[in-house]
């Protein structure tokens, strides 16, 4: 069974994000091929990036970074649930992602986004960030409008918006299983060269 982290993309007070995250978790709970867990970066008390060495070197010095990285390393894939702030991802999400890199190598991600224009620019920017960590992202994403998929501050997804979720997760699972094999092959090569 594929282990999927649902990454909550905003910790803003009174944010809509928890409602969308809960919906994603409910959808995944109905599947028999994934084991999902909600992961919130604010549970790790990450300050503004304070690691002296870039994440790609995997030379973490701070306990909060080590804990955040260890948590993320446990998963085969990720679904990022992000709003769009100022035509991009929230600053806190970007900060949390800047802490790590190797944990995402040769794994798969999917994006659920929302905003005034369905959050599509946040998704575009997030893809650029994730590819730098050697993460593959599935093509389809699930996009919600704050005008049509929320009513009086409550998440009420329209069928036209949510219909892409199942095919997106189907691809996430296919890629996730394939990339498990890639990671095993990389580990074999590393062991043979040691």
62 Rama sector, left if φ>0, alpha if ψ -120 to 50, beta otherwise: beta
Burial class (CB in 10 A: 0-12, 13-18, 19+), 103: buried
C-alpha of 55 from chain center:
17
All domains in the chain, ordered by first residue: 2-193 (3.40.50.360)
Q: What is the pLDDT of residue 126?
A: 98
d(CA 151, CA 157): 9
pLDDT greater than 90 at residue 76: yes
d(CA 69, CA 75): 11
Residue-wise pLDDT tens digits, 132-151:
999 999 999 999 999 999 99
pLDDT greater than 80 at residue 1: yes
Selection from 63, 68, 64, 55 nearest residue 7 by Cα: 68
CB within 8 Å of 174: residues ≥ 6 apart = none
d(CA 38, CA 152): 25
pLDDT greater than 90 at residue 27: yes
Residue-wise pLDDT tens digits, 97-140:
999 999 999 999 999 999 999 999 999 999 999 999 999 999 99
DSSP H helical ranges for 34-141: 63-73, 91-98, 120-131
d(CA 166, CA 3): 17
Q: What is the pLDDT of residue 193?
A: 84
Band (194; pLDDT cuts 50, 70, 90): low
Query: pLDDT above 70 covers what percent of the chain?
Result: 99
Radius of gyration, alpha carbons of the chain: 17
Q: Does the global pTM surpass 0.85? A: yes
Query: What angle do the packed helices 120-131 and 91-98 form, to 10 degrees?
Result: 10
């Amino acid at each position: 069974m594929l282990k999927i982290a649902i990454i909550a993309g905003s910790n803003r007070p009174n944010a809509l994000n928890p409602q969308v995250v809960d919906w994603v978790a409910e959808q995944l709970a109905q599947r028999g091929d994934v084991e999902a867990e909600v992961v919130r970066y604010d549970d790790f008390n990450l300050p503004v990036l304070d690691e002296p060495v870039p994440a790609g070197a995997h030379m973490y010095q701070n306990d909060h970074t080590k804990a955040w990285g260890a948590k993320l390393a446990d998963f085969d894939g990720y679904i990022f649930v992000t709003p769009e702030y100022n035509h991009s991802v929230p600053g806190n999400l970007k900060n949390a992602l800047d802490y790590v890199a190797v944990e995402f190598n040769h794994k798969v991600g999917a994006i659920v986004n929302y905003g005034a224009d369905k959050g599509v620019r946040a998704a575009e920017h997030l893809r650029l960030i994730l590819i730098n960590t050697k993460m593959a992202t599935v093509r389809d994403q699930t996009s919600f409008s704050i005008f049509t998929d929320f009513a009086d501050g409550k998440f009420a997804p329209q069928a036209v918006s949510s219909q892409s979720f199942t095919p997106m997760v189907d691809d996430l699972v296919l890629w996730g299983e394939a990339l498990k094999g890639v990671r095993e092959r990389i580990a074999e090569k590393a062991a043979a060269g040691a």
